[in-house]
Amino acid sequence: PAAAAPAAPADAAAAPAAPTPQKGDTAWMMTSTLLVILMTIPGLALFYGGLVRSKNMLSILMQVFMIFALIVVLWCIYGYSLAFTEGNAFFGNLHDRTFLNGIWDPAKGAFAYAATFSKGVVIPEFAFVAFQATFAAITCGLIIGAFAERAKFVAVLAFVVIWFTFAYLPIAHMVWFWTGPDAIKDAATLATETAKAGFLFQKGALDTAGGTVVHINAAVAGLVGAYMIGKRVGLGRESMAPHSVTMTMIGASLLWVGWFGFNAGSALEAGDIAALAFINTLLATAAATVSWVFAEWIFKGKPSMLGGASGAVAGLVAITPACGFVGPMGALIMGLLAGVICLWGVNGLKKLLGADDSLDVFGVHGVGGILGAILTGVFAAPSLGGQGVFDYVANKASADYSIGSQVIVQATGVGVTILWSGIVALIAFKLVDVVIGLRVPEEEEREGLDITTHGESAYHD
């Protein structure tokens, strides 16, 4: 018989096993990614499509559909690398993950993993790439509602490429990029790892799923576009009523369902924080629907289906940054406030701004996003039922939480996002206008973009 192998020395320390993904977390992240795709196509497309006139239905569907496809391609070519690799405080780099290079190592026969918010817990990096791709795609799709029914299709696509590259990617990096918690052992390593993070992450901005990155970012760009492209022909003289509130209700419902992937998926694990984000998303959205409908009922005399759908989206927007940090009662209050304040946003504020924001992108996503980002700083406080801020050195929630200080940090994030997105959008729209032209001719606008741009109609008698 073969000789027995010698016993290992008694004092040999076993090397710690490298963390490997858990199947439950991986399954949850892929499910969440599918839910965010559902939010965009068909959710956002039908929500927006129902709100325009029938002659422009297909143009909206096509814009959302094509933007989704285009951004996913750009994300995998260079977007992910610029947003989620180590570079400086504003951008990642173009060599680590361009063309998704480096995620599969054929020499080692191994995949790379992405960090989560828990030490020793990872997910497949490809799952993280796909999840974040859907966020980039829906953000760019949201913008087009502000200038629906009058923009050139080619101009929309050209603008989106520029804005995605110079607004979405840096803001995503500023708010969300960090190297993960595993290297943090003490105050020194905490400082070292924090210094590698994005600008607003370093400042301590709290944003679970994109109050700044998605909603404020897109809303500001849309508002700039509404100003630069100008008002629809016949606005104030002709009916601009939604052609199918039925479609809008279906779209809003798909958004609500998909948003659970958007918010709870942003926990990156199938655990307690995902469950917290789930109940907060459910409750805040329901509360905002109730408050919008009842406020509309009181002030306008009738409760409308459009109001119900709009209230739901307002609640979803407001709870997005807060869902992983606040308690359910904080979410309830945020939802109730969002319904009423966003109702004012699409009525009173819209008149004050004077822009033809066709589908109330700024009134809902801008106002709701700002409200949610600021109130995250309030209701994340442990004294108000929130999670506070996690201390990765002590490996527990930090004992120190100042509502005032956190609100200032949140307001800084809002201000940086408004300025950055607004300036990039202004330059991008101007460039596109000079080179291509932003708006279709008046006769094409009157006939409708479905026929004049795409050569087909949504409906046939």
pLDDT digits (tens, 9 = 90+) for 36-69: 999 999 999 999 999 999 999 999 999 999 999 9
pLDDT digits (tens, 9 = 90+) for 425-446: 999 999 999 999 999 999 999 9
Please give the CATH number for the structural domain made up of 23-448: 1.10.3430.10
- 157's enclosing H/E stretch is helix 153-163
Q: How many CA atoms lie within 13 A of 65 on its CB side?
A: 9
pLDDT surpasses 90 at 80: yes
* Terminal CA-CA length for the chain: 87
pLDDT surpasses 90 at 461: no
Domain boundaries, the chain: 23-448
Burial of residue 336 (CB within 10 Å: 0-12, 13-18, 19+) is buried
pLDDT band at 166 (very low <50, low <70, confident <90, very high): very high
pLDDT band at 107 (very low <50, low <70, confident <90, very high): confident
Instruction: Please report, for residues 82, 234, 247, 371, 401, the alpha-carbon distance to residue 384 in angstroms, rounded to integers and kept in the order given.
Output: 37, 49, 39, 17, 11
Six token digits for residue 461? 């008698």
pLDDT digits (tens, 9 = 90+) for 285-331: 999 999 999 999 999 999 999 999 999 999 999 999 999 999 999 99
Specify which residues 354 forms β-bridges with.
Answer: none
pLDDT at 39: 97
pLDDT surpasses 60 at 13: no
Share of the chain above pLDDT 90, in %: 94
236 or 375, which is more confident: 375
pLDDT digits (tens, 9 = 90+) for 327-359: 999 999 999 999 999 999 999 999 999 999 999
- The 8-class DSSP code of residue 244 comes to -
User: Model-level pTM?
Assistant: 0.95
- Residue range 131-155: average pLDDT? 98
Mean per-residue pLDDT over the chain, rounded = 95
pLDDT band at 15 (very low <50, low <70, confident <90, very high): low
364 or 7, which is more confident: 364
pLDDT band at 14 (very low <50, low <70, confident <90, very high): low
DSSP string, 2-29: PPPPPPPPTTPPPPPPPP---HHHHHHH
Task: Cis check for the bond before 42: say yes or no (omega within 30 of 0).
Answer: yes
pLDDT band at 18 (very low <50, low <70, confident <90, very high): confident
pLDDT band at 12 (very low <50, low <70, confident <90, very high): very low
